[in-house]
Structure formats: C-alpha cells, structure tokens
Structure 1
C-alpha cells in the first residue's frame, strides 16, 4: 500500500473504501487523520492516562498526541459541532490539563 496526502494528513489508498464497507454512513467533514488522533487519545484517556501540555511527551503508534491535544485546545472554536460533541470527555481532560498548567 502507499499513502496519499488528504486534508493535512495521510490516508492509505483503499482506506476510505474499507471504512465504507464498515459503515457507509460514516462521512465526517474532518480528515481521517483527526479521527485517528481522537481514537488514540480517547483510548489513552480511557486507560487512565492524561493528555500532556507539550508536544513530544506522548507518542502513540507514531503519532504525537501531545501536539494534537495542543491543537484542539488552541482551536476549539474552529472544530465543527460534531467534533466538539465527540470530545466531551477529552475536552474536560484538555481543559483540566490546561488549567493545571
């Protein structure tokens, strides 16, 4: 497989087709890369972890979750409502770690 650049992230060619096979109604307006980061962060939080304040402190499956968390904090108002809805548990973790810093 090879990768192509889509919406600021990479997508494995054929990945969208595989997603369509699982759930054809799943068609978010944000990049698949955002969903991947979200899933990694949510899984980490569900396991009792916290989100770091800085980049480079939490790398999961090669992805810098600290950088992603910073981006969500800084750009909360730019997220579409569905992304904000997905983040309630993560948002509190983002907010709490921001307040603690």
Structure 2
C-alpha cells in the first residue's frame, strides 16, 4: 500500500465538502468558510484553481491527454468533486453561482422571490423601490447641447 500526504489531504477535504453540501445544498462555500475546524472554503477555492490549471494545460497541449502536472487537478479528483456538486467549478464567478444556487434552493423548498426589487438609499433613508423618483429627476436635468467646433469644456459657461 502506497500512502500519499496529498491523497490523505484530498480525502479530508472531500469529507468536509460532503458535509458542507449536506447542509447548504451546494459546494460553493466562501473562501473563509470552515467546517468542523477544516477550512473547506479555502480547500474548494484551491481545487477550483487546480481544475482551471488542468484546463489551461489541456488547451496549451492542443488537445493531447494531460497527465498529472504540478498544480493541476487530476481527472479522478475532478470526478469526485462533480459527484458531490456538478456546479462546484463554474466558468463564471463563484459568487454569482453561489447566489444562483441559493435562489434555486429557496424555490425548490417552496419559497418565493420578492415581487418588487429593492435597494438601499444612499442617503441613509432605508430601502426604496428601484426607480422611485427617476421620472421626476429625468425632467429636471439640464439639457445637454453639443459643443461648438473648437470650444473647450471650460468655455461652455462663457457664451
């Protein structure tokens, strides 16, 4: 039996990842997430980096089979992670994917999305509807006119 520190570390991370998914429903933990003392967020982030390194190696080698190279995720490890959550390594931002999965889980559990979009008011007056006052502001802005040939922006008020 050959024993490998890397294999043991991967199995520990995989165990923490399975536990994370069992509770959260996705394998997209924030980088700071810790599960039972194990830094599952950093581990998954590193696995995503290794998967992208393997993809880059495959492209660089023009479609030839890629063996295990330094920093690249092996196919067996990628399959193990995809068995837990097929969306664990999106090509787009993981934060976006995390939000998508949270909304997806909410809807699957019978929850509902808010009917109106809301955002916080920068003046500190609390939440407001998107677009409140937009129609009123549209008519109050001064009209823009084209500059005359040779006119500089600082000359505009001197006509």
Smaller-chain TM-score range? 0.5 to 0.7
List gaps (5 residues or longer) in structure 1.
1-23
- Report 1:41-80 matches (<5 A): 41-50=17-26, 51-52=28-29, 54-56=30-32, 58-76=33-51, 77=54, 78-80=72-74
Aligned length: 75
Residue 89 in 1 paired to residue 83 in 2? Answer: yes
Larger strand fraction of residues: 1
TM-score of the superposition, structure 2-length normalised? 0.38
RMSD of aligned Cα (Å): 2.9
* Secondary structure of the corresponding residue to residue 62 of structure 1: coil
Shift of 1:34: 1.3
**Larger RCO of the pair (alpha carbons < 8 Å, separation 6+):** 1
Q: Which structure would you say has the larger Rg?
A: 2
Larger helix fraction of residues: 1
